[in-house]
Amino acid sequence: MKYRILTNDELSHLGEDFKQFLIVSGIHAEEWEEMNKKDIPKAIQVVEIFSDTVLQKVYEKINFVEFRSENSCIVFNCQIDKTELISIQAKSGITVNLSTPELIHSELRNNLSNLQFHRSEKPYSLSREIEIHNLIEKGCVISSQDFWNFLLKIIGVN
């Protein structure tokens, strides 16, 4: 597997897509039912391939992710050949809470002088989509270009 197997909840929302995937793969409804009863490893392999296909398409569409904790927020701009990041952290000796979008925006509006920013970039060491997958597996959530652009303005870029 390239990524991970989709959860039952995720699969339940993709029922029609899975049916289409089975048809394109040359597996008819009766064959699928038979496979589920008599060849579970093969059925799991089909679900794994479907899962990888779905996640690949999802990751291709993601451009921004962010990691939030009480002490920091890191926003990643996932470009074609590299990842740029902007991190927000409290200055030494200052306590902040950057664990939710509301708290992040409150700190940025009301306590900007308590925060420090760092910007860097790095080329991908793995494929772009695998790196996005790894970031999400580590707790990142999808972010937006608007937030990225807002942070660029704050740190004086653009």
The burial class, CB within 10 Å (0-12 / 13-18 / 19+), for 153 is exposed
Tens digit of each residue's pLDDT (9 = 90 or more) over 55-109:
999 999 999 999 999 989 999 999 999 999 999 999 988 899 999 999 999 999 8
- pLDDT at residue 112 greater than cutoff 80: yes
pLDDT averaged over every residue in the chain: 93
Q: Residue 113 carries which side chain, given as an amino acid letter? A: S
pTM > 0.85: yes or no: yes
Whole-number percent of the chain with pLDDT over 70: 99
- pLDDT at residue 156 greater than cutoff 90: no
Confidence of residue 155 (pLDDT cuts 50, 70, 90): confident
What's the pLDDT at 129? Answer: 97
What's the pLDDT at 140? Answer: 97
What gap in Å lies between CA 9 and CA 137, rounded to an integer?
Answer: 17
What's the pLDDT at 29? Answer: 87
Nearest to 3 by CA among 78, 73, 54, 76: 54
Nearest to 85 by CA among 127, 138, 122: 122
Domain boundaries, the chain: 8-61, 64-154
